[in-house]
Amino acid sequence: MMLPISVVIPTYNRAKFLPRAIASALAACAPGDEIVVVDDGSTDDTQAAIAPYRTRIRYLLLPHGGMAATRNAGMAAARHDLVAFLDSDDEFMPDKLTLQRAVLAQSPDVVMVLSDFAHRSASGGIRHRELANWTGDRRGWGEILGGGVPFTDYAALPAGRPACQVYIGDLYPLLVARSYAAPLVAVVRRDRVGPGPWFPEDLSFHCDWEALARFARCGPVAFLDCETAWNWGHDGPRMTDISQGAYWAEYLTMLQRLWGQDAAFLAAHGGSYRAALYQAHKRRARWLLKEGRVIDARGDLEAIGGGPLAYRLAAALPARAIPVELIHRARSLSRPTSDGHTVRHIPRDLLYAWISFNWLCKAVLPYISNL
């Protein structure tokens, strides 16, 4: 018997992209599957955009509550135990659910199945194996998760799909430092991950990371070493639009309440937790120093026993000694585009040398001379 899947598509003011997402989900679904579009109080033409699909989807309109609340509502409303997620600006490949369904059917102990994905920019650029770009981990999945087997051990490959490996293991300890999981490529067994809410509604950026890590804590995870979805780049607001300060603040919240409160994890992987905690405090302190918030930065440095010497020296300076305006100017001259490339109008080394010289002349030397 084929295992049915509920595809949950949360959306908010994405009328321009939503039809593409729905069409891709319909192409990937089998008889018995369902698509649940959860509208987070959109104020654009979302309802008009989905009108051609209304007889083939379920549509839930909610008051605006944020991404996590929308995902939770969709997962709660799903009629099937297997739940897949598709962001409304992204796209499934046609055989995505076929591949993942086959692994789950043959591996009843597996709580969640993931895969790699590709990126397509609005201008037509394509990047493959995008997960390695997201995580910065270029290792093979045999090293990351353990020994793999050919997909054909589970089922025949769909027509046109190249051979790929399937890896199964404990992903939970690895998620403490890197987000190897994304909802776009996840199918989860709802009956194995406990009652909701599943996505933490106090986090705006790391809600997905924490939820998928909680799922991974419930049992083995399978990883299909192939691309099953398209992540689309585009102009306009995105979930990834967040300051570094907010990013690291949310990460610390997630880190401390999930892995930091997990006695079994700490007993086996305490070193990984402490290393992740150190890096998070250090990275946030660095951002705070660039913003001239030296007192706040001192708190992060104290939390990790002082941190690097250069950071401690910078934190000892008065706020006026931090060239905040020059740093902001440097950022504006070195900005990533929607295609993932970086546009620089001034060579980075020359720019940083200019900033350092100005800082030395205008802030540091006068301060030292007054000691």
Residue 130: helix, strand or coil by DSSP?
helix
The pLDDT, as a whole number, for residue 324 is 53
> Can you read off the two tokens belonging to residue 266?
């700490």
Q: Which of 184, 177, 63, 83 is nearest to 131 (CA)?
A: 184
Q: How much is the pLDDT for 245?
A: 87
pLDDT of residue 370: 47
pLDDT of the residue at 320: 54
CA distance 220 to 111: 6
* Residue 92 structure tokens: 């499934």
In Å, what is the CA distance from 156 to each residue of 55, 107, 145, 150?
Answer: 32, 16, 23, 10
Query: Which amino acid would we find at residue 172?
Result: Y
CA distance 281 to 287: 10
**Omega of the bond prior to 197 within 30 degrees of 0, cis?**
yes
| Per-residue pLDDT in tens (0 to 9) along the chain, 371 residues | 689 999 999 999 999 999 999 999 999 999 999 999 999 999 999 999 999 999 999 999 999 999 999 999 999 999 999 999 999 999 999 999 999 999 999 999 999 999 999 999 988 899 999 999 999 999 999 999 988 999 999 999 999 999 999 999 999 999 999 999 999 999 999 999 999 999 999 999 999 999 999 999 999 999 999 999 999 997 765 544 568 889 999 999 999 999 999 999 999 999 999 999 999 999 999 889 888 888 999 999 999 999 998 888 888 877 655 555 555 555 555 555 444 444 444 455 544 554 554 555 445 544 444 44
pTM for the predicted model, two decimal places: 0.86
Distance CA 335, CA 351 (A): 14
